[in-house]
Structure 1
Amino acid sequence: MAEGAVVTQPPPTVSPPKCPEGWNKIANRNYCSKFFTGPRADEKTWFEARDYCRDIGGDLLSIHSAEELRVARHGKAWIGLHVADANTGYVWSDGSPVNFQHWQDGEPNNFNNAESCAEFKIYHLDDNGGSWNDANCESYNDWLCQIQAGVTPRPPRNNTVQEFNTTADGWLEWRGNHYYINRASMSMEEARRFCQQRHGELVTITSRAENVFIWKQISRSYGRYYIGLSVDYDGSFWWMSNTPVEFLSWDHKQPKENSINDNCVIMSYYMGFWSNCNCGEELKSICKRSASAPVNTTVAPTTAPVGGCPTAWQQFNSKCYTIINNRKMTWEDARKQCITMGGNLASIPARNVQAFLTTRMAEATSTDLWIGLNSINQDEFYWTDGKSRRYTNWGYAKNKRRPGSFYQRWNEEDCVIMSSSPMGFGKWMMKSCNDTNGFICIRDLDKSLQSKPNPIPLNAYVSLANDSIKVVTQNLTWAQAKANCEKDQANLASLRNEWTQAFVELMAITLKTPLWVGLNKDETKGFYRYIDGWSMNFANWGEDDRCGPTDSSDYPGVCPEETEVEYRQTYSWIPYKGHCYLFVPEEVEWADAGSSCARHGGMLASIGDPDEQKFIETNVKVFKDAHSSFWVGLFKSHRGTWQWLDKTVMDYTNWGQEQPRADYGEIESATGNWTTGRRWHDRAYICETPKVMPSDVGKAEPQGPPERRSRTHNSLASFS
């Protein structure tokens, strides 16, 4: 080095600014980004997300190249692109130029003229980059912030300020009105009653601001919510509050055209737009009332409708019904005919209506009749007039499965009739909507007509199909009632079929009193058989009047309550020792019988000793005229050995002659002998389940006096 030369020092190495912990470098920019996510309740609108990013020292993310599309996680989140002015189009919230775009196919589409903010979507971490979609700025979302590298984010402000006051009974206050979000699933009719019982009505929406306010209350939780708008058959709209229709917010392609069932309106949690639906759907709902509503006073009771029925219509409760059995139409033509007559195809919301219509069917010429239940263009069965679906009366057809509830469809038969078949009179059966049948119409009472309820036939015989039945209103013991009938050369009534059961049930409901019938096991050697000699091939026992031996206190516990409404209305678990038994007179294959028992909390029955054999034999014998045998849980294993499905040791048998010959066990109804069937054979079946202990045995309902025969009731005489 030359003398006097100065050594030049290299410049100090300057480290590039780093991203804060949890933040990621943005490609070629001196910025960092972070994906903010959390529970649904912490999501933000686009404006809230922008303010959050600015509070901590940054802004919503802007993107200016394909390299910047990769983020550290998948999902969807707000970015800074938005339409601040319709004349200028999309701009970035940080003021940077819009020099790169990466929209999804078909976006932005400004759906329903309500989407002005951009969200970033990436569904897989191995994607090359996310794409953009326009969305409603008021919807809730995760968000992406950006901040300059080297800058430490400030703590966010606490923005957990309650926007709206809440009343003591849980209603939100907004601009002089109260609103209640009812998250319990109900039909429209039930939801409306819920609102009215709280001095409100299903919500009327009169402006976009009100619509946005309501939508914001439901947008964080999934669901559809009834509002108070109705769609009439002619496509017109009206608010249930009788407020003029001044504002509408229909979703795309809504309301649905040519929709035969959809007369109610719901708001979606997703965008707050409206669509029409069947009023019988069980959905959430929104109530509204004036802020000056008398919330602490008793709601006035609902007054019963007044009026009468036109000629050829019959009044029952507060409705009019007519049966058209001399004209056969398709389901749709029948529906149109009922509407022309001022009504609709009949809905059957309760057992008493079913009993009334079954009785009227028996009095008329026998033919299958359309009712309003259908699943046209939908996955579930609904009443075409939108009534609640709390009651069912499904029947069963050989080689066809019946739906276990409204929510199962097994075939393409979308419409429903009340059957005129003697094997299931009055039961609901699925049929093709293009079949032609008679039909039942329902309509409201006509206020201009005087009420003329059908007279109750008392103390005189009424012809019902092949039977004649008389209701005797004198209170008598069972023995006195029997003697009274014998004076007419008749017997206490045998309820051998659906129509006699329906008539008797209807009389008991109307008179509000129990009625004696011709069952008394003390008169028939310990078996429940009718005293006139008819076998008991039809049963409809109440919860406290089940057929079977007296249960011993050595075997505590109770039978489980059937969860499915239709089974609870038709069958009852029968207690015996430590178990309960369900005798199901519906013929299905062995495997399907096992699956059905499992759905009801049990298994196909096993038989472990002569006492259990005698109990089961006694109960199946009453079905011998209708069902030759019942499946039990006996099967031949792949090793050729016979086993019980519940793994009970098989140390007792009762095989009939030349048995076993097939692969699955059954018990003969007439003899009690065990026989066998093939996998594809259809049989009735027996389920079994252990008893359960009640939650509070000390508070069990009293069972009543042991001598029921000493009671006095009205009675029924019959002869055939």
Structure 2
Amino acid sequence: MFRSLLLVFCFSAPLISAQCGPGALYQQSSSRCLTLFRAAVDFQTAESICATLNGHLVSVHNAIDNTFVSGQAQKFIDGGAWLGAQASAPDVTNPLNWYWTDGTDFNYQNYKVGQPTQTGSTACMQLETGTSKWQTANCTTKLPFICSASASAMPTFPAVTIPSHCPSGYTWFELTDFCYKNTVQYTNFNDARSACQADGGDLASIHSLAENTFLVGFSKAGCTNKDKDWTGDVFIGLVFQNSKWQWTDGSVVDYVNWGDGEPNNMNKEWWTSLVADPHQGKYSEASRWNNVPQDDQRAFLCKIAPLH
């Protein structure tokens, strides 16, 4: 089998800090770690995911920070993204009726012309990544989002590690109460699954955005994959069998996160990879799933029940 090379380029050094987890951007002006998510969710779900990183949706307090946040976001997010501001009263034109979820003062705004406007029963703040301007949106709207955490508080993935809960080499994730292992090794789906089964588990099944987000952070290399053959991703346990998608561990398929236009090529692409790192020219695919043929991928994720 032809094994193509994985060609990567990483974020420039000034944006990365050893204090931030893999893939997080270091914001020097405020000593924060920023993590960008392309998956579109409502405001409260976004805030809950940020909480798993010991942080909140990002707050912005001056023009310098606004330029930095929007400049980084537009590299990965096309359109609007949640900021961490929410209105506490119907009059959205009054700054006193807004608050940041991280508890800091709402002391800076960068509204586009005609904003802010009432959006229904709730109002939250979105950033237009291309213009750096702000506008209101109903909090149930689904948008990508930006998390922020103190550099000293930002966990290095895996986010929660309690060794006594898991077999050696595995990491426990509290929200699912399962243990996971990321093995970086070029291999095909069958061999990857055999390795997981040898540990008493199986290739990872994913049942929520929170679990998907954890596994992206857990397995990403922090670089952008330039390989046109799509062999720089991470195997998970979703397979197409008996005319339907099934998890190899037998759990129910109650959540999917396919990339745009996926699954496709259903005559031969019956296996699934998690796109933990973005692909050059196809950033919208990062953190999502791609159905693939039986080619080698750069890594695979195992999942096993905890010891307790």
TM interval, shorter chain, is 0.3 to 0.5
Quick one: higher RCO (CA 8 Å, sep 6+), 1 or 2? Answer: 2
Normalised TM-score (structure 1): 0.20
Normalised TM-score (structure 2): 0.44
Compare CA radii of gyration and give the structure with the larger one.
1
